[in-house]
A and B are shown apart, each in its own frame.
Chain A
Amino acid sequence: MVMAGVLAGCGSNGGSGGDGGTLTAYVYGDDAVKVQQAAVEEFNKTSKVKVKLIPVPGTEYVNKLRSAMGSPSAPDIFYNWGSGSIKPYRDAGQLVDLTSTVKNDATLKDGFLPSIVEAGSLDGKIYGVPMRGMQPVMLFYNKKLFAENKLEAPKTWEELQHAITTFKDKGITPFALGGQEKWPELMWLEYLLDRIGGPEVFNKIQSGDASAWGDPAVLKSAQTVKELVDAGAFGKNFNSVDYGSGAAPTLLSKGKAAMHLMGSWEYSTQLGKAPEFAKNDLAWANFPTVAGGVGDPANVVGNPTNYWSINSRTKHKEAAIAFLKTMASTSYAQALVDNGDVPTTSNAASMLSGSPNPQFAKDQYDMVQKAPSFTLSWDQALESDVATPLLTEISKLFAGKSTPEQFVAAMKAVK
């Protein structure tokens, strides 16, 4: 029982690193951190309680946050994906409920696109304030290859299949896919299920109904994945193609692959790695319809945005809320636009002309604003005890290690 005391001690000590008026804020450490850093510096000029920004390298972020939240040195404010990604913290009573704060504050209430705020909430309660750009998943393609083969961006499944055969005959991989990591494969299943069964199927799954995996639309989606794999839509060696090291985006920019289903950050990735290609030949479109599907082709999947949430153990709740309010300011939105992001603030539309690529920014904003439904990436929407087995099962499905039927059975069995 001594051991139990030792272990329990890890979680129960109050205080959260807020010594003498400091708020620590964890943020996902990538290129966009400079925008948050500028916001912090601006805020610290006038605030008595100072915010200290701690960028955590991307791949470590989820782990580091989880360990920190279970320890006495937890952050006061932290970056997250909303929904399932914060559910364990909500269940452990570690989050400040912001619902009434947002409802009673004009800046927070009207500052953001309502669908975005909703997408990050849990059981109708708001725990986060949007703080970065939107990241819908889009179908990126190589304009030059399409023109050379007299093709246009596929709008229907027939057009998609025609494009697959055409490119295969030319020895070009139809779709780049970084199959060594599992989440790029997940994006396919997310869009397929949405187009085939509509967003309601996943909504049911997300609400904790494991039997919803047994919906015929899930099986059809998994079968479509298998058909695509068998038809060589992703080439022969996608299982050993990496995303993180840039192998998959390079396939697209070098013309070895014609299309790439990826989050909107693909644009900045290409701009960094292959600027010529990004400027001249990179194009984007919505995911096509699937024959016999009932989902609205305007629906979007991906990450609506990222959110700041507040740790309930913080000593400076008021200051933390004040900091979160600055996320709705015009200057902050402008900084995001300048960085190439598309903010989720209600006033963003008028600023997009200042973006590094106004057309891309505008298309992205329109796509999200017009979408009847924006499904959050499944691995963020679901808790890790379902999301991790899901990613494993998807990887098995793509690798041909399990059949669509086995995939469905395995997911139904995850408690």
Chain B
Amino acid sequence: MSHVSSYKTVRRGRKAAAGNVGRPSVAWALPGILFFALFAIVPLAIAVYLSFCHWDGLNSPTPIGTDNWTRLFKDPEFRQAAWLSLLLTSISWAFQTPVALLLGVWAAGKQRSRAVLSAVFFIPLLLSTTAIAMLFHALLDPNFGVIKTIGPWVGIDPNVMGSSTGALLTVAFVGGWQFMPFHTLIYQGGTRQIPQVLYQAAEIDGAGMLRQFFHITLPQLRHTITTSSVLMIVGSLTYFDTVLIMTRGGPGTDTTVLPYLMYRTGFQTYDLGYAAAIATALVVVATALSLILVRFSGFGNMRSTREGM
């Protein structure tokens, strides 16, 4: 609790100082708040309301109490989708974090080829998700795609999208391929913030590259890792477009993650009330996960990582 009080003191101090400078009035924040309320808070509230209704999209919604919610907790399909979402999120995180971190640290350096290669690595992020999914879909066609030729060389069965594990890994891979440049960028920025003196001191003490990485770079990047992880987790939990285009939730229901289940329930079955319940559950889980992550990583304290500097 001690840090809370110190934080408060700091804030109080700031307030006083700000009063002298002449802080912009609340009115400046109004457009932003209105926009957020209209396009985030209101739809969210409607979704919560709808989750207590039966609605087919044509007639008016009729309140049915907690029926959708009791159904949610008993629904094996929801449970499977929740499990697949968590699995996809974990795989995505485990795949993207190390690669993005190493790439980011490398991109922060002063190598000659760095700028050019960094630009090349950045390209996937500029493409639309739909285009990427369609591209990989074509590449992975078991009869006519590149996988048919290359797969057997590297020991991959061309029927990648037809197997449960293969389909899920593919979705994780394609998502990783697309968003890794973004996280690389975050890590690059984070690494650039690390004061050079730390490395100079370590060098004088005789620490090699590896030790410098593990004892300076990594600890100094811990808040960057939190930021990037929160974005990754929330992103993976709401991952939808690639699933829709590449697997349609299949084979069977083996890639039917929560957002896809929500889509199917809402816009194919037209059970919009139950779909709203799934959506609300997703919001709750994603928010809870990011809060937990922020809390346990100490990120929430907003203290400088450069203590003693």
| A contact residues around B140 at 8 Å (CB) | 240
Report whether B58 and A94 are in contact in the complex, using a CB–CB cutoff of 8 Å. yes
Partner of B141, one of A239, A240, A392: A240
**Given A237-B159, A402-B252; A242-B269 close (CB under 8 Å):** no
Instruction: Say how far A211's CB is from chain B's closest CB, in angstroms.
Output: 21
Q: Give the size range of A's interface with the partner.
A: 35 or more
Partner of A247, one of B55, B143, B247: B143
**Nearest chain-A residue to B56 (Cβ)?**
A88
Most buried by A among B45, B58, B249: B58
**Nearest chain-B residue to A383 (Cβ)?**
B270
The answer to the question of B57 belonging to the interface, with a C-beta cut-off of 8 Å to chain A, is: yes
Which residues from 140 to 155 on chain B have a C-beta closer than 8 Å to any C-beta of chain A? Answer: 140-144
| B contact residues around A94 at 8 Å (CB) | 58
The answer to the question of B189 belonging to the interface, with a C-beta cut-off of 8 Å to chain A, is: no
Partner of A180, one of B50, B56, B248: B248
Q: How far is the CA of A89 from the CA of B158 in the complex (A)?
A: 44
The answer to the question of B169 belonging to the interface, with a C-beta cut-off of 8 Å to chain A, is: no
Q: 1/0 contact trace for A74-86 toward B, CB 8 Å?
A: 0000000000000
| B contact residues around A245 at 8 Å (CB) | 137-138, 141
The answer to the question of B160 belonging to the interface, with a C-beta cut-off of 8 Å to chain A, is: yes
Report whether A395 and B141 are in contact in the complex, using a CB–CB cutoff of 8 Å. no
**Nearest chain-B residue to A89 (Cβ)?**
B58
Please choose the segment from A5-13, A157-165, A272-280, A344-352 that sits at the chain B interface, where 4 or more of its residues have CB less than 8 A away: A5-13
| B contact residues around A12 at 8 Å (CB) | 60
Q: 1/0 contact trace for A376-391 toward B, CB 8 Å?
A: 0000000011001100
Report whether A401 and B253 are in contact in the complex, using a CB–CB cutoff of 8 Å. yes
The answer to the question of B271 belonging to the interface, with a C-beta cut-off of 8 Å to chain A, is: yes
Which residues from 230 to 284 on chain A have a C-beta closer than 8 Å to any C-beta of chain B? Answer: 236-242, 245, 247, 250-251, 256
Report whether B143 and A256 are in contact in the complex, using a CB–CB cutoff of 8 Å. yes
Instruction: Say how far B39's CB is from chain A's closest CB, in angstroms.
Output: 15
Most buried by B among A181, A242, A389: A242
Q: How far is the CA of A275 from the CA of B140 in the complex (A)?
A: 26
**Given A384-B269, A384-B270; A237-B138 close (CB under 8 Å):** no
Q: 1/0 contact trace for B248-276 toward A, CB 8 Å?
A: 11111110000000001001111100000
Partner of A237, one of B143, B249, B264: B143
| B contact residues around A66 at 8 Å (CB) | 57-58, 267, 270
Q: How far is the CA of A402 from the CA of B77 in the complex (A)?
A: 13
**Nearest chain-A residue to B57 (Cβ)?**
A70
Report whether A389 and B269 are in contact in the complex, using a CB–CB cutoff of 8 Å. yes
Instruction: Say how far B158's CB is from chain A's closest CB, in angstroms.
Output: 7
The answer to the question of B161 belonging to the interface, with a C-beta cut-off of 8 Å to chain A, is: yes
Number of B positions contacting A (CB below 8 A) = 40
Q: How far is the CA of A242 from the CA of B249 in the complex (A)?
A: 13
Report whether B251 and A251 are in contact in the complex, using a CB–CB cutoff of 8 Å. no
Q: 1/0 contact trace for A293-336 toward B, CB 8 Å?
A: 00000000000000000000000000000000000000000000
The answer to the question of B235 belonging to the interface, with a C-beta cut-off of 8 Å to chain A, is: no
Q: How far is the CA of A179 from the CA of B161 in the complex (A)?
A: 11
Report whether B59 and A11 are in contact in the complex, using a CB–CB cutoff of 8 Å. yes
Report whether B142 and A396 are in contact in the complex, using a CB–CB cutoff of 8 Å. no
| B contact residues around A67 at 8 Å (CB) | 57
Q: 1/0 contact trace for B24-61 toward A, CB 8 Å?
A: 00000000000000000000011001100001111111
Report whether B57 and A3 are in contact in the complex, using a CB–CB cutoff of 8 Å. no
The answer to the question of B162 belonging to the interface, with a C-beta cut-off of 8 Å to chain A, is: yes
Report whether B269 and A92 are in contact in the complex, using a CB–CB cutoff of 8 Å. no
| B contact residues around A99 at 8 Å (CB) | none
Q: 1/0 contact trace for B99-135 toward A, CB 8 Å?
A: 0000000000000000000000000000000000000
The answer to the question of A399 belonging to the interface, with a C-beta cut-off of 8 Å to chain B, is: yes
**Given A92-B59, A239-B159; A392-B253 close (CB under 8 Å):** yes
Report whether B162 and A237 are in contact in the complex, using a CB–CB cutoff of 8 Å. yes
Most buried by A among B60, B61, B247: B60
Partner of A388, one of B45, B57, B142, B268: B268
| B contact residues around A241 at 8 Å (CB) | 141-143
Report whether B253 and A238 are in contact in the complex, using a CB–CB cutoff of 8 Å. no
| A contact residues around B158 at 8 Å (CB) | 237
Which residues from 349 to 389 on chain A have a C-beta closer than 8 Å to any C-beta of chain B? Answer: 384-385, 388-389
Partner of A8, one of B60, B253, B254: B60
Report whether B141 and A247 are in contact in the complex, using a CB–CB cutoff of 8 Å. yes
| A contact residues around B163 at 8 Å (CB) | 239
| B contact residues around A195 at 8 Å (CB) | none
| A contact residues around B137 at 8 Å (CB) | 242, 245
**Nearest chain-A residue to B251 (Cβ)?**
A399
**Given A242-B137, A256-B143, A402-B252; A88-B162 close (CB under 8 Å):** no
**Given A6-B46, A237-B142, A245-B137; A388-B159 close (CB under 8 Å):** no
| A contact residues around B271 at 8 Å (CB) | 385
The answer to the question of A63 belonging to the interface, with a C-beta cut-off of 8 Å to chain B, is: yes
Report whether A239 and B162 are in contact in the complex, using a CB–CB cutoff of 8 Å. yes
| B contact residues around A50 at 8 Å (CB) | none
13 A-B pairs, CB-CB below 8 angstroms? Answer: A7-B50, A7-B55, A7-B60, A8-B61, A66-B58, A70-B58, A239-B250, A247-B144, A385-B270, A392-B253, A392-B264, A396-B253, A401-B251
Enumerate chain B interface residues (CB-CB to A < 8 A).
45-46, 49-50, 55-61, 63, 137-138, 140-144, 158-164, 247-254, 264, 267-271
Besides A88-B56, A385-B269, A392-B264, 5 other A-B contacts (C-beta < 8 A): A66-B57, A69-B58, A239-B159, A392-B253, A401-B252
Nearest 4 pairs of A and B residues by beta carbon: A239-B162, A401-B252, A240-B161, A240-B162
